[in-house]
Amino acid sequence: MNTRPTNRPLHFLWLAAFIATIPAANWLIQHVGTTCIPDGPCLVPVAPGLMAPSGVLLIGLALVLRDAIHASLGARWALAAILAGTAVSAVLAPPALVLASGAAFLVSELADFAVYAPLRRRYPAGAVLASGVAGAVVDSALFLGIAFGSLEYLPGQVVGKLWMSLLAAIAIGALARRRAASV
């Protein structure tokens, strides 16, 4: 018997938000930043002296949402969400970013899943952190290499994703605790 409180509508909201992060990140990378490079990404500062393509703001969130989906709905839902996100990415990404976005999303989310799954029950917070690092590095290297042929922004990408993962994890944790307390 499962005695944990559940909130299916919230969990499906996380699922929808996860899938929406990819086209939104692709839009950001081409339209929003403190600096936009011709035929390149729009950039945002992520730390002193460190810039990253602006899509990083949403990809860090995607990594945490995937873990939240796995924890709340299960591994099958998480894998289905990865496939759905990859399909949405391939269909909605701008032509120049289709391969980079789809490949980076699929491989990084599978890396995130592979790290999170064995750790989640014993070390939940550590699982989110470790899988976020794995996903951030894989996503950043693949996306930048395929989309721009350069890893110049790799440190900024990883740092930006980890900042966003940390903020998203804090927000999701607070929301989950508030929901659990109200049940």
Over residues 81-135, the pLDDT tens digits come to 988 888 887 787 777 788 888 888 889 889 988 999 999 888 877 888 888 889 8
Close Cβ partners of 180 (under 8 Å, ≥ 6 residues apart): 5
Q: Is residue 154 part of a domain?
A: yes
Whether the pLDDT of residue 42 is over 90: the answer is yes
**pTM for this entry:** 0.75
Mean pLDDT over residues 54-63, rounded? 84
CB 58 within 8 A of CB 28: yes
Q: Is residue 173 part of a domain?
A: yes
Q: What is the pLDDT of residue 115?
A: 93
User: How far is residue 6's CA from residue 72's CA, in Å, rounded to a whole number?
Assistant: 8
Highest mean pLDDT among 6-10, 71-75, 175-179: 71-75
Q: Is residue 170 part of a domain?
A: yes
Q: What is the pLDDT of residue 3?
A: 40
Q: Is residue 40 part of a domain?
A: no
The count of structural domains within the chain is 1
Edge to edge, the sheet with strand 42-47 lists 35-36, 42-47, 50-53
User: How far is residue 44's CA from residue 42's CA, in Å, rounded to a whole number?
Assistant: 7
Q: Where are the beta strands (DSSP E) in the chain?
A: 35-36, 42-47, 50-53
Whether the pLDDT of residue 145 is over 50: the answer is yes
Question: What domain range is 76 assigned to?
Answer: 8-33+72-182
User: How far is residue 128's CA from residue 124's CA, in Å, rounded to a whole number?
Assistant: 6
Q: What is the pLDDT of residue 151?
A: 92
Mean pLDDT over residues 77-81, rounded? 90
Q: Is residue 3 part of a domain?
A: no
Q: Is residue 57 part of a domain?
A: no
Q: Is residue 167 part of a domain?
A: yes
* Nearest alpha carbon to residue 134 among 169, 162, 154, 160: 162
Q: Is residue 43 part of a domain?
A: no
